[in-house]
């Protein structure tokens, strides 16, 4: 491939933005063309993020004047609602869109509007948008123009349950319980008291227990795979680590499942997936096993004496849970090797 | 009360040991008489724990020669099996025993032997031992000679469920799921690679998923309260914080429960308990709200659209989950004010 | 003492504010009367800080209407400049003032105005204010009406050097180098990106290297003790811990010092100080040895082959470095036992 | 370059070992051939370090039977003394040696024996060994057979002072003070109480204040550059972060230096160095700016009103401070692009 992809990033100053930069700066087929920021227009990117000194020479552009239409693909690492407002213009210019916010994740606009408190302004574009989990929708992604990049929690829960759902192994008489834990970077690079070091270090809490925006997203995707109605209990927790997400999922198995070799079924389902790793039976993943990488690792543990299976899933919330999956989607969109630019070895210790 | 209680601590060099020291050193009715250590006999306590300089002048004694029989009460902050081996001698000398290990927690010795891989050497003493949760067994504790101080995880799960169990509000057709999270001090002050800072900081994992020693302890206590058989799924997790424990409990409500004001029932049940605090509806506890204190705080959250209730419980695993509860038990045993020596304000931030 | 002191706290929502509450709530001679907050007036204190549930029933008052003149003493846990603006009114009502900000720390108003970018509005009151380090100015504090409570860094550097300065043992031909390290709570409870968990965890930096407000404060106090001009290099660093401060001080000894038993001189100087502890030779302090307590611990280490002495000082920046020292000053002001309310055992682990 | 280098690693289970694996596994010209471990022979590497699943298929070999002589280069990520004992055999087989321990760092064997408490067994090999700082000894490294890879602290202090020393800008009448701070991984992957999470989290301390093994190493290298005797005060500190090292260096400038543009001199000295970055004047480095990467970043700050310059240096102690520098040395030894395999973007946040 002779010509490099021209990349635009809208909202480059948050954690998903800088994570896109970390991955794309070494991507052999990508060229950073435009990075926008409302607050920091004019500032060299490497001045805000000195980790990128010597690697990124771009400055942040003003989003109102940035030339995004000359890009091949634009990533939105923005608050919800921004991608919607620019989608039409970009599509008209034949630019692919990968939105890391929620604008193109929920096909049901009423649900979107209920949870995100804003009208959905482009239902027609949404209709053709693809939910960007390559392990489920790779063929659709290849042909898509707009990708709704999944939320971090949904990625773990959906991929943790996919083999069971596809094979019809869950007893839906009991709800699926997803007890999920996230590092603090998931809250974003916003100045807030609750995520100060002195508030969230050496401390943990559940939050969003009354309802969290990822609930409808997970529920919609699981229901689609199940072809059925199901109950979902989803409780997120904030853990004092920078990155990392671990989801512990409790699910009731049906009669078929109890007779099956679930470990083998999971291994078979993900055998050819470069970024999903099923651990050998008896092993449990830790979040550092994927720190900084696009890997998602899964372990299964039947709960003896019950009909329940416990599934433990880990990922780096900023990589497979956000920017890494977005790059994986970009690679698929443009017919590149899916692992291109994503061959990062996890940082351990 | 003119005379101070003479206190013995067997195994004073671990985290529950030093935590007992922290609490007892300011206890107005306690006098530290003997602290033993196999490895550090002869060493001044304040040399190993300089946080106690100026407060503790004792040296560690050799456990084989220490005069424990002259104490009023002996705490065992030891590995499992030690209290059993010394109980008879101490009881003969009229010394009360509070064991912070598991020797006197499980009335079923077969279960004990299965999980702790050692024979139980004093089934007769065990028979009269009391499980030391004051909120459940205060009257028995008053008359006891031997207290089996509860495990850290069990304290949170049992107190989190007590009101529901006592009032018969749980539908046992579904298992109770206890997804529990603990700070690293729960692993003790043992030199091990897995709990090194560079291994367990900025990282989390589930562990003991195939089976954990606290499962039979929790199960036995819940069953006793339920007067019925029940299924329990218990998955502990290790969180990068020094202290603190948060348990998220998922339980199916029966028809009676669904019509009840559970918030009011919990508040009523614990209204007179000095160390159990039910948060107002809509609030969620954080582990730092109890850091260093003997408080345990509970919040309830019905899961909309399901029959399930989520209960979130926090405690300091070394205080209400170990040494603080032990001191609370001591206060009851000797007719002291139950809060004596336990009026510590949580350290926040 | 029959009547309790009526306490006012202006600015109760920051870390020094909540730390004052933690200490005063158990103080046998103090009664919390008024706590103000501009932003949270009307909110129960225990709602903002649930660690204080069951201990504090007060609500935050509006600072413009709060009745501070009926208090015996008012603590200012506010931004710089607030205490100045209210001092006259309070003094007229015979209320003692303890300012935890900088308004009454620097006798030279020009220096104050240069570093704090505001005019000093009550030079006459400042003239009679006492710099609140009890170990140096106990007798003055007893008679004072206004205490300028020292900055956190200054407390460590001044007390670390006091014995040498009082005895004239430093060779001032070389500058004193104070390389100081602070936990993140020192930056306060303000929403800022730089002190977010995801920014300051697993990370450290020097800051204020071009100049820090505590430089003139330290310099003034050291010069006063030295009776001489001296050069000071002071570089603060931000460390990923909630609390704790460690200062490593490098100082050139003069000929007299080289012949002296410095360890003995330090021990003698602080023998009767309840909150300054000189560690035995060969020991080094850790910040957790004082976590949550008002202790400050010092160790000395001669640098072999040179004329230099290294002094390592630790304190909890929020206690001896702020609120604890303020309560110590209050105790002295009102003739109470200096340790009253300050008998907190450090939280270790 | 058609043929890949065959790599041997002796002692692959420590932190420098796994860090070599992280870097070499993606190195285009390296092939992992042998990794030894006394304790874990037979175990697949990816079982001990699941972060390497899918990337490393090797098992640990027994060091007594491992075929190291067929390698092109052998890294020793071992305790001190191991490389010495195998050097002769490997050199006889024409294998290059890069020792990450101290065996080949100190040319003065008496000093080595004093600090490392063991005889030096191959003074003749030592004589020809090169101290592996490429920025100083690149030409010697090209021709070397044995590289003594520098200690972590020495790398920061030496590179922080090199421009001043080479140009003769320091006034040696005052000692150089190096106040250095390290993450806990520097203590290695050894089961020890002092580096447990519950001991070293939310805590800091100075250590080795009476003398540290890196003192003679730093002193020897600085003296060599100075061509003169100099005094060095070096105090290391342990900081609660996994990786990262920050050294604050205080140095007295001579008359020439005071007239010079030091910022420009530093920038010029390191202009062509791929892994040394001088920050613009007024900026200060943070350890996360280099997390996981081989970069070392330097900032200068004159201390106003004094003759002193403060130099702040950061690196990742496991990369530029150990394994990364070792790979950089390997690249030079074999005529590869010096950055080969080292193009890792720092992980931020």
Report the 10 Å Cβ neighbour count for D274.
17
Mutation to test the A interface, candidates D22, D28, D53, most A Cβ within 10 Å: D53
- C123 and C165 share one domain: no
Whether the predicted pLDDT of C1 surpasses 80 = no
Q: Which of C128, C161, C190 is the last residue of a domain?
A: C128
**B70–chain A Cβ distance below 8 A for any pair:** no
Q: Does any domain span residue A275?
A: yes
Q: Do A242 and C191 lie within an 8 Å CB cutoff?
A: no
Of the pLDDT bands very low, low, confident and very high (cuts 50, 70, 90), residue C2 is low
CB C324 within 8 A of CB C342: yes
Q: Do B189 and C349 lie within an 8 Å CB cutoff?
A: yes
Burial class (CB in 10 A: 0-12, 13-18, 19+), B34: buried
The pLDDT, as a whole number, for residue B2 is 61
The pLDDT, as a whole number, for residue D159 is 98
- B160 and B124 share one domain: no
Whether the predicted pLDDT of D2 surpasses 80 = no
The pLDDT, as a whole number, for residue D112 is 96
Nearest to C193 among A185, A189, A200 (CB): A189
Domain count for chain A, please give it: 2
Portion 173-192 of B in contact with A at CB < 8 A: 174-175, 177, 179, 181, 183
Q: Does any domain span residue C94?
A: yes
Q: Does any domain span residue B142?
A: no
- A108 and A182 share one domain: no
Q: Does any domain span residue B139?
A: no
Portion 5-24 of A in contact with C at CB < 8 A: 15
Q: Does any domain span residue D191?
A: yes
The pLDDT, as a whole number, for residue D304 is 86
The pLDDT, as a whole number, for residue D228 is 84
Report, as an integer, the average pLDDT of A39-66: 96
**How many percent of chain A have pLDDT more than 90?**
97
Nearest to A292 among D15, D201, D292 (CB): D292
Report, as an integer, the average pLDDT of A212-220: 96
- B80 and B193 share one domain: no
The mean of the pLDDT values for chain A is 97
**pLDDT tens per residue, range A123-163:** 999 999 999 999 999 999 999 999 999 999 999 999 999 99
Q: Do A181 and B237 lie within an 8 Å CB cutoff?
A: yes
CB B46 within 8 A of CB C295: no
Q: By CA distance, what is B312's nearest residue in A?
A: A206
CB D334 within 8 A of CB D5: yes
Of the pLDDT bands very low, low, confident and very high (cuts 50, 70, 90), residue C319 is very high
Q: Does any domain span residue C348?
A: no
CB D341 within 8 A of CB D23: yes
**pLDDT tens per residue, range B235-251:** 999 999 999 999 999 99
Burial class (CB in 10 A: 0-12, 13-18, 19+), C140: middle
Residue numbers in A near B207 (CB within 8 A) = 284
- B121 and B191 share one domain: no
The pLDDT, as a whole number, for residue A2 is 61
Kindly compute the dihedral angle of the four CA atoms of residues D321, D322, D325, D331, in this order, to the nearest 10 degrees. Answer: -170
Nearest alpha-carbon partner for B240 in B207, B206, B289, B200: B200
Min distance A23 CA to chain D CA atoms (Å): 8
Of the pLDDT bands very low, low, confident and very high (cuts 50, 70, 90), residue A21 is very high
Place of tokens 């294998």: D95
**pLDDT tens per residue, range D74-107:** 999 999 999 999 999 999 999 999 999 999 999 9
**pLDDT tens per residue, range A60-118:** 999 999 999 999 999 999 999 999 999 999 999 999 999 999 999 999 999 999 999 99
CATH number at residue C182: 3.30.360.10
Min distance C195 CA to chain D CA atoms (Å): 12
**D246–chain A Cβ distance below 8 A for any pair:** no
User: Rg of the Cα trace of chain B?
Assistant: 20
The pLDDT, as a whole number, for residue B304 is 86
The pLDDT, as a whole number, for residue C296 is 98
Report, as an integer, the average pLDDT of C75-96: 97
The pLDDT, as a whole number, for residue A229 is 87
The mean of the pLDDT values for chain D is 97
**How many percent of chain C have pLDDT more than 70?**
99
Whether the predicted pLDDT of C305 surpasses 90 = no
Within chain B, strands assigned E span 5-10, 30-36, 73-76, 96-99, 130-131, 146-148, 176-183, 205-206, 232-239, 245-252, 276-278, 296-302, 308-315
Min distance B299 CA to chain A CA atoms (Å): 10
Report the 10 Å Cβ neighbour count for D90.
22
The pLDDT, as a whole number, for residue C320 is 98
- C159 and C64 share one domain: no
CATH number at residue A84: 3.40.50.720
Widest CA span in chain B = 63
Mutation to test the D interface, candidates B48, B197, B242, B245, most D Cβ within 10 Å: B197
- D123 and D159 share one domain: no
Q: Is the dihedral of CA C134, C137, C139, C144 positive or negative?
A: negative
Full-model pTM: 0.97
The pLDDT, as a whole number, for residue C307 is 95
> What is C198-231 written as a DSSP string?
HHHTT--EE--TT--THHHHHHHHHHHHHTS---
Overall size of chain D counted in residues: 349
Q: Do A312 and B206 lie within an 8 Å CB cutoff?
A: yes
Q: Which residues of B carry out catalysis?
A: 152
Q: Please report, for chain A, how many H helices and E strands are present, in that order.
A: 12, 14
Report, as an integer, the average pLDDT of C215-234: 96
- B296 and B255 share one domain: yes
- B73 and B164 share one domain: no
Q: Does any domain span residue A334?
A: no
- C121 and C157 share one domain: no
Whether the predicted pLDDT of A260 surpasses 80 = yes
Report, as an integer, the average pLDDT of D248-254: 98
**pLDDT tens per residue, range A167-191:** 999 999 999 999 999 999 999 999 9
Q: Do D202 and C243 lie within an 8 Å CB cutoff?
A: yes
- C108 and C14 share one domain: yes
- D172 and D250 share one domain: yes
CB C80 within 8 A of CB C57: no
The list of chain B residues with pLDDT below 50 reads none
Question: Measured between alpha carbons, how far is residue A329 from residues A30, A73, A317, A324, C244 in Å?
Answer: 13, 11, 16, 9, 45
Of the pLDDT bands very low, low, confident and very high (cuts 50, 70, 90), residue D1 is low
Nearest alpha-carbon partner for D119 in D106, D127, D110, D130: D110
Chains that touch A (3 or more CB pairs under 8 A): B, C, D
Q: Which of C71, C122, C152, C180 is catalytic?
A: C152
**C198–chain A Cβ distance below 8 A for any pair:** yes
Distance of CA D264 to the CA centre of its chain: 26
Min distance A254 CA to chain B CA atoms (Å): 14
Question: Measured between alpha carbons, how far is residue A302 from residues A167, A231, A263, B181, B248 in Å?
Answer: 17, 20, 10, 20, 20
B349 prior amide bond cis, ω within 30: yes
A331 three-state secondary structure? helix
Q: Do B52 and C345 lie within an 8 Å CB cutoff?
A: yes
Q: Does any domain span residue D65?
A: yes
**A342–chain C Cβ distance below 8 A for any pair:** no
Of the pLDDT bands very low, low, confident and very high (cuts 50, 70, 90), residue C139 is very high
**pLDDT tens per residue, range B169-217:** 999 999 999 999 999 999 999 999 999 999 999 999 999 888 899 999 9
Nearest alpha-carbon partner for D1 in D343, D337, D323, D333: D337
Q: What ipTM was reported for this prediction?
A: 0.97
Whether the predicted pLDDT of A304 surpasses 90 = no
**How many percent of chain C have pLDDT more than 90?**
97
**A200–chain C Cβ distance below 8 A for any pair:** yes
Distance of CA D119 to the CA centre of its chain: 23
Nearest alpha-carbon partner for D179 in D162, D197, D204: D204
> Which domain does C37 fall in, by range?
5-128
Q: Do C22 and B49 lie within an 8 Å CB cutoff?
A: no
Strands B5-10 and B73-76 come out as parallel
> What is D122-141 written as a DSSP string?
-HHHHHH-EE--HHHHHHHH
Distance of CA D143 to the CA centre of its chain: 20
Min distance C279 CA to chain B CA atoms (Å): 9
Report, as an integer, the average pLDDT of D22-50: 96
């Amino acid at each position: 491939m002779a010509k490099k992809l021209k990349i635009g990033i809208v909202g480059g100053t948050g954690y998903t933005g800088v994570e896109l930069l970390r991955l794309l700066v070494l991507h052999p087929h990508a060229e950073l063309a435009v990075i926008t920021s409302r607050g920091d227009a004019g500032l060299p990117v490497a001045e805000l993020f000195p980790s990128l000194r010597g690697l990124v020479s771009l400055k942040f552009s003003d989003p109102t004047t940035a030339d995004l239409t000359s890009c091949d693909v634009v990533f939105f690492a923005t608050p919800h609602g921004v991608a919607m407002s620019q989608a039409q213009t970009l599509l008209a210019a034949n630019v692919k869109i990968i939105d890391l916010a929620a604008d193109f994740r929920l096909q049901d606009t009423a649900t979107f509007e209920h949870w995100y408190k804003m009208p959905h302004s482009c239902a027609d574009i949404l209709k053709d948008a693809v939910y960007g989990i390559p392990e489920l929708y790779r063929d659709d992604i290849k042909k898509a123009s707009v990708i709704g990049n999944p939320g971090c929690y949904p990625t773990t829960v959906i991929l943790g349950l996919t083999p069971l759902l596809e094979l019809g192994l869950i007893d839906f008489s009991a709800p699926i319980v997803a007890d999920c834990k996230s590092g603090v970077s998931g809250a974003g690079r916003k100045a807030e008291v609750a995520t100060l070091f002195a508030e969230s270090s050496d401390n943990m809490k559940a939050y969003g227990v009354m309802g969290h925006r990822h609930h409808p997203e997970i529920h919609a995707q699981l229901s689609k795979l199940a072809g059925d109605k199901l109950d979902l209990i989803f409780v997120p927790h904030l853990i004092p680590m920078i990155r990392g997400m671990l989801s512990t999922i409790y699910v009731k198995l049906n009669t078929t499942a109890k007779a099956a070799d679930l470990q083998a079924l999971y291994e078979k389902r993900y055998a050819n997936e470069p970024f999903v790793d099923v651990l050998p039976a008896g092993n449990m993943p830790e979040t550092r096993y994927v720190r900084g990488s696009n890997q998602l690792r899964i372990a299964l543990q039947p709960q003896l004496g019950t009909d329940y299976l416990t599934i433990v899933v880990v990922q780096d919330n900023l990589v497979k849970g956000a920017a890494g999956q977005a790059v994986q989607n970009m690679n698929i969109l443009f017919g590149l090797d899916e692992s291109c630019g994503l061959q990062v070895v996890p940082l351990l210790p």
